Amino acid sequence: MFALVDCNNFYASCQRVFEPHLIGKPVVILSNNDGCVIARSNEAKVLGVPMGAPAFEYKKLFEDNNVFVFSSNYALYGDMSSRVMNILSTFSPDIEVYSIDEAFLKFQGFEKFDLQEYGITIQRSVTKGTGIPISVGFAPTKALAKVANKIAKKFPEKTKSVYIIDTEEKRIKALKWTKIEDVWGIGRKHAKRLQNSKVTNAFQFTQLTDEWVRREMSVVGLRLKHELQGKPTLNLEVAKDKKMIATTRSFDKMHTKIEDISERVATFTASCAEKLRRQNSHCNMVMVFVHTNGFRKDQPQYSRNIVIKTDFPTNSTIELNHYAQIGLNQIFKEGYHYKKAGVIVMGLTPNNETQLSLFSASNPKHQPLMSVVDKLNKSIGQTKVRFASQSMGRQWKMKQEKLSASFTTKLKDVIQIHL
DNA sequence: TCTGGGGTCCTAGGGCGA
DNA sequence: TCTGTCGCCCTAGGACCC
């Protein structure tokens, strides 16, 4: 049996833990730059705030309905997430942290257990330990556990937020209830294609022939079909090193000069390099991209990316920025209003497995320098130590007008209780 | 005026050596 | 020497996830 544990409206719930007056009120969380809505409480969903809604379009609705609006606070969410995962890992040795707010747990040898009771115990422990409400779905496969979880979340009173698919009858009933576009692994494109073929729920999907599914949706679709039929094809995944690392941002306003973009690219590269070193990896490719604002149909559009191969594997900020700037210079075109840029490092290898180059090598002085920079930034606060290519004078600030305190990760933000 | 960010996996098609 | 075939590797693009 697998269980999928999912935190309810995770970001909104994190805010509520420290501001309990928000319970029962509509709450939304905005993306970086306070751009779009990326999380909503149930009350906000009822008001008709869709996922991904541009914040400026809904400003009036927020004001009219006293919606509490927050900028995203990843320090808080990340810390709360690890607390939830720590508690979950006490219930099964086999756990896959699937995302910031979800985890799969595997239960082998639990046949004699009353899973409904066990699920409720899990749920109470997490809520008691963190204040975050969760839903639990049990089923013989991961895809069915996702379905079970959705039912638990949709009918909290009836299910006590725990639902188990453990009979053929329950499986078929659950699949008939699940709309095809809500199935895990079926995105917009496939949902549309399936609907055109008169497949509107998950049960109908499982009735398609293997050949059709294989042809139209590749082995990924076929695996999903088998999973929904109750035949396990997916197991828990072990945490692996990343295969690429990206830092990309939209700008608060549009930029036309290469000096401005160049500074941003230097900062993004520094961030990628720092993440690389944290993962104990080197990379041998750097991709740089720039975009104009696709929403401004009145302006000329331009977007390009370029991949630069490094001469040797490296994780030095200085060396990587050298390549990133070469890339930027090749793709930057005058006369456009740029809204977004990013740096992605690829071709990652662990530090101890890097391929040496015959003719050139990473500057040996960089390693100790980088480790000092990382240490300093860790002890005195992120990005306090910067490279000259990252402008010191100018303040690039993300729009974060509604940022809450970092209640669990900054000493000065810890809530004080005076007795 | 204002529309996020960071990932993974799979397939098709071309280059290339055996 | 020329040609066909196979398999491997790489890349671009598409689809998906949160």
pLDDT in tens, A236-294: 888 888 889 999 999 988 899 999 999 999 999 999 999 999 988 999 889 999 999 88
Q: Is the distance from CB of A38 to CB of A11 less than 8 angstroms? A: yes
Backbone angles phi, psi at A164, to 5 degrees: -125, 130
More confident residue, A413 or A12: A12
Burial class (CB in 10 A: 0-12, 13-18, 19+), A140: middle
Q: Are strands A27-30 and A338-346 parallel, antiparallel or unpaired?
A: unpaired
Quote the CA–CA distance of A37 and A29 in Å, as a whole number.
Answer: 6
pLDDT for A370 equals 80
pLDDT for A112 equals 82
Name the residue with tokens 């998950």: A202
Q: Is the pLDDT of residue A37 over 80?
A: yes
Quote the CA–CA distance of A307 and A414 in Å, as a whole number.
Answer: 44
Quote the CA–CA distance of A339 and A334 in Å, as a whole number.
Answer: 14
- Nucleotides of chain C in contact with protein CB (under 7 A) are 12, 14-18
- Nucleotides of chain B in contact with protein CB (under 7 A) are 2-11
pLDDT for A348 equals 87
Q: What is the mean pLDDT of residues A310-319?
A: 89
Q: Copy the structure tokens of residue A340.
A: 């977004």
pLDDT for A82 equals 93
Pick from A138-147, A214-223, A346-355, A402-411: least confident: A346-355
pLDDT for A256 equals 93
Q: Is the pLDDT of residue A85 over 60?
A: yes
Q: What is the mean pLDDT of residues A364-377?
A: 81
Query: Distance in angstroms, CA of A412 to C1' of B9?
Result: 43
Pick from A109-118, A142-151, A281-290, A350-359: least confident: A350-359
pLDDT for A206 equals 95
Q: What is the mean pLDDT of residues A39-57?
A: 93
Residue with CA nearest B6 C1'?
A246
Q: What is the mean pLDDT of residues A357-366?
A: 71
The secondary structure element, H or E, covering residue A281 is: strand A281-292
The residue type of A371 is S
Is residue A51 helix, strand or coil?
coil
More confident residue, A343 or A311: A343
Long-range contacts of A321-324 (CB under 8 A, 24+ apart): A321/A265, A321/A266, A321/A269, A321/A270, A321/A273, A321/A387, A321/A389, A323/A286, A324/A265, A324/A266, A324/A268, A324/A269, A324/A286, A324/A288
- As a residue count, chain A comes to 419
What angle in degrees, to the nearest 10, is found between the helix axes of A168-177 and A142-154? 70
Query: Distance in angstroms, CA of A363 to C1' of C17?
Result: 38
Q: Copy the structure tokens of residue A6.
A: 């999912």
Using alpha carbons, select from A347, A375, A324 the residue that is nearest to residue A245: A347
Query: Distance in angstroms, CA of A237 to C1' of C14?
Result: 24
Q: For the whole model, what pTM was predicted?
A: 0.92
- Beta bridge partners, A54, equal A36
Query: Distance in angstroms, CA of A191 to C1' of B10?
Result: 18
Give Cα separations from A244 to A183, A209, A344, A345, A374 (angstroms): 27, 36, 7, 6, 20
Q: Which nucleotide is nearest to A252 (CA to C1')?
A: B2
Q: Is the distance from CB of A399 to CB of A252 less than 8 angstroms? A: yes
pLDDT for A397 equals 65
Quote the CA–CA distance of A167 and A185 in Å, as a whole number.
Answer: 23
Confidence tier at A416 by pLDDT (50, 70, 90): confident
pLDDT for A360 equals 63
Confidence tier at A184 by pLDDT (50, 70, 90): very high
How does pLDDT run across A136-178, given as a tens digit for each residue? 999 999 999 999 999 999 999 999 999 999 999 999 999 999 9
Q: What is the mean pLDDT of residues A408-418?
A: 84
- Beta bridge partners, A139, equal A2
Quote the CA–CA distance of A12 and A132 in Å, as a whole number.
Answer: 10
Q: Is the distance from CB of A308 to CB of A324 less than 8 angstroms? A: yes
How does pLDDT run across A205-242, given as a tens digit for each residue? 999 999 889 888 888 899 999 999 999 999 988 888 88
Arithmetic mean of pLDDT over chain A: 89
pLDDT for A371 equals 83
Using alpha carbons, select from A328, A338, A320 the residue that is nearest to residue A387: A320
pLDDT for A392 equals 55
Query: Distance in angstroms, CA of A238 to C1' of C3?
Result: 47
Backbone angles phi, psi at A104, to 5 degrees: -95, 140
The secondary structure element, H or E, covering residue A15 is: helix A10-18
Q: Is the pLDDT of residue A382 over 70?
A: no
Using alpha carbons, select from A203, A146, A198 the residue that is nearest to residue A177: A203
Q: Are strands A94-99 and A281-292 parallel, antiparallel or unpaired?
A: unpaired
Q: Which nucleotide is nearest to A194 (CA to C1')?
A: C15
pLDDT for A366 equals 81
CA A238, A243, A245, A249 torsion: positive or negative? negative
Query: Distance in angstroms, CA of A233 to C1' of B10?
Result: 16
Backbone angles phi, psi at A359, to 5 degrees: -105, -20
Q: Is the pLDDT of residue A394 over 60?
A: no
